[in-house]
């Protein structure tokens, strides 16, 4: 009896199931992680119980970040671009020329000095920019509202 020996054929089909599974898992991972990524300036905003402002035509965001090193002045940003106080005045003047109506939102770090915020507000007043808002974090307003009314006395008995 004679056996017929058949040559083995090369399989040119590739199993894509594993590749697609990996691609979908990576896609889901990016979809879950992407909303958690926040770009911009790292600020610790003060917490208050006010609602959000309604959108307007043009909003310029001025961010005041606490100094990185003790003794330095605060860092000022206009729409995520770091500027000096003089450049801030130039950018606001340019925005005032280009837009008839615009508003300014000030994001000041909770640890930034009052002097730096007052300096920016003084500049806005001198430039006759009156549509100004302070950005806060309303997340924990109820917790702080109760504790801010009357601080608890410290126990000093020994």
Q: Which one has a higher pLDDT value, 56 or 93?
A: 93
Contact 135, 107 (CB under 8 A): yes
Is the pLDDT confidence value at 151 over 80?
A: no
Is the pLDDT confidence value at 154 over 60?
A: no
| CATH number for the domain that contains residue 64 | 3.30.420.270
Instruction: State the average pLDDT over residues 105-118.
Output: 88
Instruction: State the average pLDDT over residues 99-108.
Output: 88
3-state secondary structure of 78: strand
- C-alpha distances (whole Å) from 65 to each of 92, 108, 135 are 19, 6, 13
Residue whose pair of structure tokens reads 């806060």 in the numeric block: 136
What letter does residue 36 receive in the DSSP assignment?
Answer: G
In a domain, 6, yes or no: no
Distance CA 101, CA 115 (A): 27
Number of domains in the chain: 1
Q: What pLDDT shows up at residue 29?
A: 94
In a domain, 115, yes or no: yes
Degrees, nearest 5: CA angle 12-18-23 = 120
In a domain, 4, yes or no: no
In a domain, 48, yes or no: no
Distance CA 148, CA 145 (A): 5
Query: Residue 68 — pLDDT band, cuts 50, 70, 90?
Result: confident
Is the pLDDT confidence value at 155 over 80?
A: no
Q: What pLDDT shows up at residue 23?
A: 96
Domain that holds residue 126: 59-138
Instruction: Determine if the pTM surpasses 0.85.
Output: no
Q: What pLDDT shows up at residue 114?
A: 86
Closest CA to 135 of 90, 104, 102, 114: 104
In a domain, 50, yes or no: no
Q: What pLDDT shows up at residue 56?
A: 44
In a domain, 69, yes or no: yes
In a domain, 37, yes or no: no
Residue % of the chain over a pLDDT of 70: 75
Q: What pLDDT shows up at residue 104?
A: 92
Element (H or E) spanning 91, and its range?
Answer: helix 85-98
């Amino acid at each position: 009896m004679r056996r017929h020996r058949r040559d083995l054929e090369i399989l040119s089909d590739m199993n894509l199931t594993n590749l697609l599974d990996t691609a979908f898992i990576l896609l889901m991972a990016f979809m879950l992680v992407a909303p958690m990524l926040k770009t911009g300036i790292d600020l610790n905003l003060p917490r208050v119980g006010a609602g959000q402002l309604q959108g307007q035509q043009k909003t310029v965001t001025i961010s005041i970040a606490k100094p990185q090193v003790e003794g330095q002045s605060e860092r000022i940003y206009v729409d995520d671009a770091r500027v000096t106080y003089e450049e801030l005045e130039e950018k606001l003047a340019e925005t005032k020329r280009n837009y008839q109506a615009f508003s300014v939102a000030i994001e000041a770090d909770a640890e930034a000095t009052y002097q730096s915020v007052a300096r920016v507000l003084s500049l806005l007043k001198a430039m006759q920019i009156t549509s100004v808002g302070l950005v806060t974090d309303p997340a924990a307003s109820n917790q702080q509202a109760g504790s801010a009314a009357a601080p608890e006395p410290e126990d000093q008995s020994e």
